A = this chain, B = another copy of it.
Amino acid sequence: MAKSPWISDLRWVRTARQPRSRRTLGLLLDAAEELISEKGLDDTAVGDIASRAGCSVGAFYHHFRDKGALIQALLARLAEEFRATMRAAVDPARWEGASIAEILEAYLEFSLEAGRERSGLNRAQLVLALRDPAAGAQLLELQHELGRRLADLLRARRDEVGHGDAERAIDFALEQLRSMLILRLEGVSLGSRLESLGDAEFVREAMASVCAYLQILPPPRPEYRT
């Protein structure tokens, strides 16, 4: 029985031994991410990915056991990119002295900015998650982690909240903001009433809404109009 290059059924991506190989692997993942966000997963053939990465189909299969392994690897890379940023962003030390409104406003602004500049990532993620929920589990878990950590930050400030059931209100408010962000960033094909609204105005209205609901003070504004 010939020795398989694949370490186990759980390890479908070959461990590179040469820098050249690592480079090709990165190019393949880049190409896949681009193509999937442009055309969707099923219109992206392995041959397309290989040729955009500037290598052959054979090279592709040197690195990945099959097309599914590429998807796993791509999701893993997306997750890795997200993890570090996310954890730094919700570090409690970073937010000492900040109010709920300040934290939520920063969450909105950061998510919009990150979503705009990396729209391929979002679209690829959405496509992959809709196609195969299990494969997107690691990324999903990070989304949950972000949610939990944000909720922790807010719960530590529950004294600010006027809403009767602070726990539930915090969860609901976060879900509300997350829903709007997802649709605003990726829901073009689902239509929107707010196409004419700029990001800054969107953030302002979202903050007005969430502050009214939670019964907290609005974020301090550097402008003349408080």
Show the binding face of A for B, using Cβ within 8 Å. 40-42, 126-127, 129-131, 133, 136, 140, 143-144, 147, 151, 163, 168-169, 171-176, 178-180, 182-184, 187-194, 197, 205-206, 208-210, 212-213, 215
Contacts and interface: CB of A to CB of B under 8 A. Distances in A.
Which of A151, A172, A174, A187 lies at the interface centre, i.e. has the most chain B CB atoms within 10 A of its CB? A172
A191 B143 contact: yes
Contact of A144 (B143, B163, B191): B191
A147 B171 CA distance: 27
Which of A133, A194, A210 lies at the interface centre, i.e. has the most chain B CB atoms within 10 A of its CB? A194
A175 B180 contact: yes
A174 B205 CA distance: 12
A33 to B, nearest CB: 17
Contacts of A172: 193-194, 197, 205-206, 209
A192 B180 contact: no
Contact of A190 (B129, B169, B171, B176): B129
Question: Chain A interface secondary structure, helix, strand, loop or mixed?
Answer: helix
Top 6 closest A-B pairs, CB basis?
A42-B42, A212-B212, A209-B213, A179-B179, A133-B189, A179-B183
A142 to B, nearest CB: 10
Given A171-B193, A194-B171, A215-B212, A187 B176 contact: no
Contacts of A136: 189
7 contacts: A40-B130, A126-B190, A133-B188, A171-B194, A172-B194, A179-B180, A183-B183
A129 B194 contact: no
Nearest to A140: B191
A190 B125 CA distance: 9
A130 B189 contact: yes
Contacts of A171: 193-194, 197
